[in-house]
Structure 1
Amino acid sequence: MTPNSPAGMSAEEWQVRQELAACYRLAWHFRFTDLIYTHITARVPGEDGHFLINPYGRSWEEITASSLVKIDVDGNKVGDSPHPVNPAGFTIHSAIHRASHDAAWIMHTHTRAGVAVSTLEEGLLPLNQIALQFHGRIAYHDYEGIALDLGERERIVASLGGKPVLVLRNHGLLATGATAASMFNTMFYMERACEIQVATLSMGQPLRTVPADVAAHVATQYESPMGEDDDIALEWAAHLRLLERIAPDYRD
């Protein structure tokens, strides 16, 4: 990533901007987007109550580090960015950012598979190894309409609890993380689990679910290091190498 930050901007903010732009480009690459809608947000280091969000109206493949907009907890612009923002789209994000210091990064999607699973009464099922990493790690929030009501923020936080994934029923998916790498890893595999479930159910055959004790065991295994290296850090580095090949301008 580009080491030098623009004049008047901290190196820490510039680093977060580049990582957030990377998340948008990766989400576009893996087809997690909903045209110009939904958001990925990140807390600005050292600035209480300030966050970065995509400029409203731009496709996620267009997002760059410098085009991201700094906003406050109510979705209002901070500074003189020429780009518009969608304050209503920040309702869900602001609730979680305010309530949890660990949720420095939040990604919300409306993918076909994610929305499909959100409409099922049982949500994500324990059908395969990928899904089992989320055993006991998913929260659910009942649909209340388009997220414009600020009063819903407290209910969203209550629904999430301390879980890293929130399934917004009849709506979509949300993943949180302390870092860009952890958040993107969580959403990538949650989306993959949903895709597999949709494919499985489409076959119309009897299901073989994993017993609860085995599911709990596998979830514990996922929480333990599987090698000498930090798997998520290695994965994130691979993602960034991909972007260097296909979309290096995300850093601009």
Structure 2
Amino acid sequence: MPDGTTDLPVSDLRRDLAAAYRLIALEGMDDSIYTHISARLPDGPDGEKRFLLNPYGLRFDEVTASNLVTVDETGAVIDDPYGAGVNAAGFTIHSAVHMARHDATCVLHTHTVAGVATSSVKEGLLPLNQWSAQFYDRIAFHDYEGIALDLAERERIVADLGARNVMFLRNHGVLVLGRSVGEAVAVVMNLERSCQAQIAALGMGLTPVVLSDEVAEHTARQYEKAYESIYTKGRDPEWAAMLRRLDRAAPEYAD
């Protein structure tokens, strides 16, 4: 995918990232004060790499544009309005991806029941429906090494991710990259539905109909073409609709 949209005004990027936290909470995809969504900021005046992350200790439904923490690539806090720092394990994963993949404005990581369950089986996500066909042959895998506190694991995460934009962290959860915050949210919601649908279908005790390789690949390319059109034109109607939802449900996210 092309370079990330770090030319977005910082105020808009902060708003979008806060919105992502609130939307993930509204969808029940958060995990207490754990997991993270990060966004790449424009480089600092001396060229330092800077990222936004949630304050440690806040639930996703407490994150606002103004309390997001700014950190550099080493994890050093540059600006911390809330005063609680960030989660070290969260920074390990996100810094690795951002530093290697400059095309990603947003990196989103979840621990949902469906996502963890699907990441915990050898077969991963099967092409059982239109949602899951989007991800056909496009998911990377990283084996579980324990809670991600070891900075040395960053190299292995990056190597396993390669050029792909979706990763199953085995026995752990999922990771999604987006050219914008809106793209990352849309993709992870489709991924979550795909995992839920697979669990439901396989749990029926009937014979699943797996899409052929040809149909699954064709569908995945259709999704890619649609996303490319959206982000080439620079207008994302789905993200605009999500923000309208938040403006009604939790307008303080933008504070």
Global fold match (TM > 0.5): yes
C-alpha separation in 2, matches of 1:65 and 1:54:
10
In structure 1, the partner of 2:250 is: 247
Q: Take 1:218 and 1:206, find their aligned partners in 2: how far apart are those partners?
A: 22
C-alpha distance in 2 between matches for 1:11 and 1:104: 10
Which among 27, 49, 55 is matched to residue 30 of structure 1?
27
SS in structure 2 at match of 1:127: coil
CA distance in 2, matches of 1:192, 1:15: 28
> Structure 2: any 5+ residue segments left out of the alignment?
1-6
Whole-angstrom CA distance in 1 between matches of 2:36 and 2:51: 12
Kindly provide the amino acid, as one letter, of the partner of residue 71 in structure 1: V
1:119-198 equivalent positions in 2, closer than 5 A: 119-198=120-199
Q: Is the contact between residue 44 and residue 52 of structure 1 (CA under 8 Å) also seen in structure 2?
A: yes
Q: Indicate the residue corresponding to 2:38 in structure 1.
A: 41
* 8 A contact 2:55–2:69 mirrored in 1: yes
1:3: which partner in 2? Answer: none
- Identity among equivalent pairs (%): 50
Kept in 1, the 8 Å contact 2:67–2:80? The answer is: no
Q: Is the Cα contact below 8 Å between 2:29 and 2:111 reproduced in 1?
A: yes
Q: Which residue of 2 aligns with 1:88?
A: 89
CA distance in 2 between partners of 1:238 and 1:73 (Å): 33
CA distance in 2, matches of 1:231, 1:105: 16
Conserved in 1, the CA contact under 8 Å of 2:65 and 2:253? yes
The residue type equivalent to 1:28 in the other structure is A
Identify the match of residue 19 of structure 1 among 11, 16, 19.
Answer: 16
Question: How many Å separate the matches in 1 of 2:8 and 2:178?
Answer: 21
What amino acid maps onto 1:109 in structure 2? T
Give the structure 1 partner of residue 224 of structure 2. Answer: 223
User: What are structure 1's unaligned runs of at least 5 residues?
Assistant: 1-9
Whichever residue aligns with residue 250 of structure 1, its letter is Y
Deviation of the 1:214 alpha carbon: 1.2
* Partners of 2:8 and 2:143 in 1: CA distance: 40
- 1:234 has 2:237 as partner: yes
Give the Cα separation in 2 of the matches to 1:165 and 1:20: 19
Once residues 27 and 54 of structure 1 are traced to their aligned partners in structure 2, the CA distance between those partners, rounded to angstroms, is 13
1:53 equivalent in structure 2: 53
Contact 1:69/1:83 (CA < 8 Å) preserved in 2? no
User: Contact between 1:74 and 1:87, CA under 8 Å: does it hold in 2?
Assistant: no
* Shift in Å, 1:239: 0.1
Q: What CA deviation, in whole Å up to 9, does each residue of 1:105-162 have, x standing for no partner?
A: 0010000000000011010001111100111221111111111111110110011111
Deviation at 1:11, TM superposition (A): 8.3
1:28 Cα offset (Å): 0.4
Change (3 A) 1:243 1:153: same
Paired amino acid for 2:252: D
Q: What secondary structure does 1:195 align onto?
A: helix
Bigger mean CA deviation after superposition, 36-45 or 83-92? 83-92
Mean Cα deviation higher: 45-54 or 98-107: 45-54
Normalising by structure 1, report the TM-score: 0.91
Could you tell me whether the CA contact under 8 Å between 1:38 and 1:89 is conserved in 2?
yes
Q: Is the 8 A contact 1:132 1:219 kept in 2?
A: yes
Query: Aligned residue pairs: how many?
Result: 242
* CA distance in structure 2 between the aligned counterparts of 1:133 and 1:100, rounded to whole angstroms: 21
Superposed CA deviations along residues 49-72 of structure 1, whole A, max 9, x for unmatched, are 110100110111011001000011
Question: Over aligned residue pairs, what C-alpha RMSD do you find?
Answer: 1.9
TM value normalised by structure 2? 0.90
1:5 equivalent in structure 2: none
